[in-house]
Chains A and B, each alone.
Chain A
Amino acid sequence: MSIQVKFFASLREQVGLSDITIEQASTAAEVWDLATSKQQQPDNLLVAINLEYAKLNSPVNDGDEVAFFPPVTGG
């Protein structure tokens, strides 16, 4: 099993990682714990699985790309 994990913007700096691969997880929350060594989740944490917004309890599968990021501020 292989899951690509990405972090963006202030969260990338906070976590100290832009991307990492993990080998085993069942939910996005578990991906967070494994990728960040259980750093505390920010209250406003957003998550996407395979480029679609998801929830922390959403399931993840082999080959998925999971991204974590703060509230968006474009436009």
Chain B
Amino acid sequence: MSVIISDQYFEPWHMISEHQQKSELASQFGATATFVGSMRDFNDDVEVCEMVLEHYPEMTLRYLEKLEHDARQKWPIIDCLIVHRVGHIKPADAIVAIACWSAHRRAALDACNWLIEELKFKAPFWKKESRPDGDVWVEHNTAG
């Protein structure tokens, strides 16, 4: 189980693959569910050149670890990886990656879906977009 918050560019698929390859429990994995969220170069039909992702460091780490713990209570997850970027982000960069491993597909799929929804609406991160006409705080998430 890992939670990583980083201000560095990351390759989500590489991190997920590497995590699985290094897991001592890999022989128990029957299903892997993943979610990767990336930065778009538009929002509300307006161009977005760059983004700064702010967070509340101590609370964010604690909250993501709590989500991971709660997911394990709800579903028979064997392993889990949550990676979230902060700081300056460019279009097409990965912002978040979540992977859940379980013996069977339903647990992995449901846990991964639950984790990204909980993260988006409760973990203390905030996006500020750089647009041609100035910087704008994102005020709410999209519905899905």
* Cα–Cα, bound, A71→B122 (Å): 8
A interface residues (Cβ-Cβ under 8 A, vs B): 6, 8-10, 48, 51, 53, 67, 69-75
Given known contacts A8-B124, A51-B62, A73 and B55 CB-to-CB distance under 8 angstroms: no
* Cα–Cα, bound, A31→B116 (Å): 32
* Cα–Cα, bound, A26→B55 (Å): 27
State the total of A-B contacts with C-beta under 8 angstroms. Answer: 70
Q: 30 A-B residue contacts at CB 8 Å?
A: A9-B54, A9-B126, A10-B126, A10-B137, A48-B59, A51-B56, A51-B58, A51-B62, A67-B59, A67-B124, A69-B56, A69-B124, A70-B137, A70-B139, A72-B120, A72-B122, A72-B123, A73-B137, A73-B139, A73-B141, A74-B53, A74-B55, A74-B84, A74-B95, A74-B119, A74-B126, A74-B127, A75-B84, A75-B95, A75-B125
Q: Determine the interface band of chain B, counting residues with CB < 8 A from chain A.
A: 20 to 34
Of A53, A67, A69, A73, the residue contacting B127 (CB under 8 A) is A73
